Amino acid sequence: MRTSIATVSLSGSLTEKLDAAARAGFDGVEIFENDLLASPLTPEDVRTRCADLGLRIDLYQPMRDIEAVPEAEFARNLRRARHKFELMRRLGADTVLVCSSVSPQAVDDDALAAEQLSRLADAARESGVRVAYEALAWGRHVSTYDHAWRIVETAGHPALGTCLDSFHILSRGTGTQGIEDIPGEKIFFLQLADAPLLAMDVLQWSRHYRCFPGQGGFDVAGLVRHVLATGYDGPLSLEVFNDVFRQSEAGPTAVDARRSLLLLQEEVGEASLPGPVVPTGVAFAELVTPDAEPLAALLGALGFTRTARHRGKPVGLWEQGDARILVNTGPAVRREGARLAAIGLESPDPAAAARRAEALLAPVLPRRRAPQDAPLDAVAAPDGTELFFCADDRPERPGWRADFEDTGRPPGQEGIRGIDHLALTQPWHQFDEAALFHRGVLGLHAQESVDVADPYGLMRSRAVTDPGGSVRIALTVGAAPTDDTVHAQHIALATDDVVAAARRFRDAGGSPLPVPANYYDDLAARFEFADGELETYLDLGILYDRDAHGVFRHCYTRTVGRVFFELVQRDGGYRGYGAANAPVRLAAQHAVRALTGG
Ligand SMILES: O=C(O)c1ccc(O)c(O)c1
Ligand SMILES: [Mg+2]
């Protein structure tokens, strides 16, 4: 199927929008009137530019407040419309979108609406244009797709059809089965948008919070299946009004948009992508840092040993149990200090995992970072984190280990079993993209996102996991682009005895993040503890949570650069990440930062 995107979904000038849409691989665009009005290009220039870029102009929009008005008003509307039809002829656009009227002058009279839309369609046909009538969810008298279709059916005009917009339909909770009652050839256009499930005024919801399919809570794929069942063969077009996209670079937004459509097409059986290869474990986490010393001290106190070093690069491998951490002091290092730069994912089929990622527009990284290195399939996530797909067939001696020579020291054995989860801070404008990427590209399951109060902002967190919980990534983001964030990335290490692990860490010279006594007083009110248990937690800064499945105990190290560690004990199948404790943890980190200036 052809794919299209409305220029309103992308930021910048019309030229920038068109370039971004073409580069991301869209077949066409909907040109939003305001984008044309603000452009120095003539309609003929726009037409040529689109043709040069291989873009069809699938729709011109919107035309507003046309139908069901007194005759004198309609005559003025028709004059206005004729003017726009002439413009469309110059643009080479053959379909115009007419939204259901919001005008106070409009009357609740379907026969009049049908009659006037029919006369509009007559004028359109004279200019070689067709009219697609869309019910705005907040239309004055017409606000549902079935109502708009009844009017179009009554008009019975060959140049008049309906435009279905998933937002207007799904935001009202109207059933979508009725779509199949519309003949496919009378659906002139299909616009797709998702949205988070919010209880708010529908116009505000539509104008500010729409997002790409798969990034919100609507069943967009279910709707598309009904539309395809009618025989509709026009484009799948994204029309997303979103405050964040308006501020983000058009290029990446367009890629995000195309990825969303590819996944949607796959879901409805209209695209065959290489299937998902779900990772089965975390092979390693790679930290880059300008100065290995603070990290080495921290890892040492946590019980890790440096078991190997890279043969060609300044990269050390630190191991304990199945937790493997690379510390890289090479040229990829940026000034802001230590950060989590790469993740090795164990995969049953690394090449196939990379093929899917590439098909879904993830940048593919060079297979060998140096001539002598073992080849590794790798792609970049939206935030730039490098994801390496590592064969999981030889866990005792994985292929990537060949690039490392042993130091002679065995892995640490101080109670850390492996990596429980990784928390990756996302750029503010890429949070929804990141969740869809990890779900669609890696085949991970996305949990609900949770908002956590930070003393100086808000943190949003969404976990993506494999079914067995062997790979858990918590994607986090601050609430605003300017957030002065302590939302550093972190590596959570799994242990069966967090009290022992925390004690060992402190005895080895580590300093756990201190937690205020008030927190433990509250815990005492909420749960029952054995004698002395809470005192131990207070002493070691251990936080406590419970869900329907089990218990979670966890504590934190101080932050080095942009990275800290967490020690985690999950009992009885606890599924979360201690979100209830996150405000206290964030406040404690702010407090430490205020003291140390770090
Ligand atoms: O918000 C609006 O006014 C508006 C305009 C055109 C559309 O296609 C639409 O879905 C909404
Ligand atoms: Mg629309």
CATH number for the domain harbouring residue 449: 3.10.180.10
| CB of residue 65 inside a 6 A radius of ligand 1 | no
pTM of the model: 0.95
Domain shared by 200 and 306, yes or no = no
The minimum-distance atom of ligand 1 relative to the CA of 168 is 10
Question: For the residues 263-289, what does the mean pLDDT come to?
Answer: 96
Q: Which residues are annotated as a binding site for a divalent metal cation?
A: 134, 165, 191, 239
| Residue 276 lies inside a defined structural domain of this protein | no
| Residue 11 lies inside a defined structural domain of this protein | yes
Per-residue pLDDT at 53 exceeds 90: yes
Domain shared by 190 and 253, yes or no = yes
Domain shared by 503 and 553, yes or no = yes
Residue 115 exposure: Cα atoms within 13 Å on the Cβ side: 10
- pLDDT bucket at 331, cuts 50 / 70 / 90: confident
Last-in-domain residue among 222, 239, 267:
267
| Residue 110 lies inside a defined structural domain of this protein | yes
Of all residues in the chain, what percent carry a pLDDT higher than 90? 87
Domain count, the chain: 2
Quote the ligand 1 centre to 237 CA distance (angstroms): 13
Domain shared by 20 and 166, yes or no = yes
| Angle (nearest 5°) at CA 10 between 8 and 12 | 100
Quote the ligand 1 centre to 30 CA distance (angstroms): 12
Question: For the residues 140-154, what does the mean pLDDT come to?
Answer: 98
Question: How far, in Å, CA of 265 to CA of 577, rounded?
Answer: 33
Q: What residue owns the CA closest to ligand 1's atom 2?
A: 207
How confident is the model at residue 368, as a pLDDT?
76
Domain shared by 220 and 306, yes or no = no
Domain shared by 371 and 290, yes or no = yes
- Polymer length in residues for the chain: 598
Question: For the residues 337-356, what does the mean pLDDT come to?
Answer: 94
Per-residue pLDDT at 543 exceeds 90: yes
- Determine how β-strand 377-380 pairs with β-strand 339-347: unpaired
How confident is the model at residue 510, as a pLDDT?
96
How confident is the model at residue 581, as a pLDDT?
97
- pLDDT bucket at 336, cuts 50 / 70 / 90: low
How confident is the model at residue 407, as a pLDDT?
97
Beta-carbon contacts of 71 under 8 Å, excluding residues fewer than 6 positions away, are none
Q: Which has the minimum average pLDDT: 11-15, 294-298, 446-450, 462-466?
A: 446-450
How confident is the model at residue 174, as a pLDDT?
83
ipTM score above 0.85 = yes
Quote the ligand 2 centre to 271 CA distance (angstroms): 24
How confident is the model at residue 455, as a pLDDT?
85
Peptide bond into 62 cis (omega under 30): yes
Domain shared by 260 and 359, yes or no = no
The minimum-distance atom of ligand 1 relative to the CA of 203 is 1
| CB of residue 62 inside a 6 A radius of ligand 1 | yes
| Residue 326 lies inside a defined structural domain of this protein | yes
CA distances from 75 to 27, 33, 158, 161, 391 (A): 36, 21, 21, 21, 70
The minimum-distance atom of ligand 1 relative to the CA of 167 is 10
Per-residue pLDDT at 522 exceeds 90: yes
Identify the domain containing residue 76 by its residue range.
3-267
Alpha carbon 584 to its chain centroid, in Å, reads 27
| CB of residue 498 inside a 6 A radius of ligand 1 | no
pLDDT in tens, 377-387: 999 999 999 99
Give the number of the ligand closest to the Cα of residue 97. 1
Q: Which residues are annotated as a binding site?
A: 134, 165, 191, 239, 421, 490, 566
Per-residue pLDDT at 52 exceeds 80: yes
Beta-carbon contacts of 161 under 8 Å, excluding residues fewer than 6 positions away, are 130, 131, 132, 133, 152, 185, 186, 187, 188, 189
Quote the ligand 1 centre to 97 CA distance (angstroms): 9
Q: Are 245 and 11 in contact (CB under 8 A)?
A: yes
How confident is the model at residue 373, as a pLDDT?
78
| Residue 62 lies inside a defined structural domain of this protein | yes
- pLDDT bucket at 445, cuts 50 / 70 / 90: very high
- pLDDT bucket at 335, cuts 50 / 70 / 90: low
Domain shared by 359 and 228, yes or no = no
Question: How far, in Å, CA of 245 to CA of 213, rounded?
Answer: 14
| CB of residue 239 inside a 6 A radius of ligand 1 | yes
Look at residue 165 and give its three-state secondary structure: strand
CATH number for the domain harbouring residue 200: 3.20.20.150
Question: For the residues 199-216, what does the mean pLDDT come to?
Answer: 97
Q: What residue owns the CA closest to ligand 1's atom 11?
A: 136
Q: Which has the minimum average pLDDT: 419-423, 431-435, 442-446, 451-455?
A: 451-455
Domain shared by 569 and 442, yes or no = yes
Q: Name the nearest CA neighbour of 84 among 52, 45, 131, 39.
A: 131
* Average pLDDT score, the chain: 94
pLDDT in tens, 545-573: 999 999 999 999 999 988 999 999 999 99
How confident is the model at residue 484, as a pLDDT?
52
Quote the ligand 2 centre to 267 CA distance (angstroms): 22
| CB of residue 190 inside a 6 A radius of ligand 1 | no
| Residue 505 lies inside a defined structural domain of this protein | yes
Sheet harboring 377-380: ordered strands across?
Answer: 377-380, 386-391, 339-347, 281-288, 323-328, 315-320, 305-310, 404-406
pLDDT in tens, 411-433: 999 999 999 999 999 988 899 99
Domain shared by 253 and 104, yes or no = yes
- Residue of 5, 206, 209, 242 with the most ligand 1 atoms within 8 Å of its CB, for mutation: 206
Last-in-domain residue among 267, 293, 312:
267
- Determine how β-strand 377-380 pairs with β-strand 386-391: antiparallel
| Residue 275 lies inside a defined structural domain of this protein | no
| CB of residue 3 inside a 6 A radius of ligand 1 | no
| Residue 138 lies inside a defined structural domain of this protein | yes
- Residue of 31, 97, 136, 242 with the most ligand 1 atoms within 8 Å of its CB, for mutation: 136
- pLDDT bucket at 486, cuts 50 / 70 / 90: low
Q: What residue owns the CA closest to ligand 1's atom 6?
A: 62
Question: For the residues 436-454, what does the mean pLDDT come to?
Answer: 94
The minimum-distance atom of ligand 1 relative to the CA of 241 is 1
Domain shared by 374 and 348, yes or no = yes
Domain shared by 201 and 287, yes or no = no
Q: Both ends of the chain: CA-CA distance in Å?
A: 53
How confident is the model at residue 485, as a pLDDT?
55
- pLDDT bucket at 482, cuts 50 / 70 / 90: low
Q: State the amino acid at position 33 in one-letter form.
A: E
Give the number of the ligand closest to the Cα of residue 98. 1
* Structural Rg of the chain based on CA atoms: 28
Beta-carbon contacts of 162 under 8 Å, excluding residues fewer than 6 positions away, are 132, 133, 134, 145, 148, 149, 152, 182, 186, 187, 188
Per-residue pLDDT at 395 exceeds 90: no
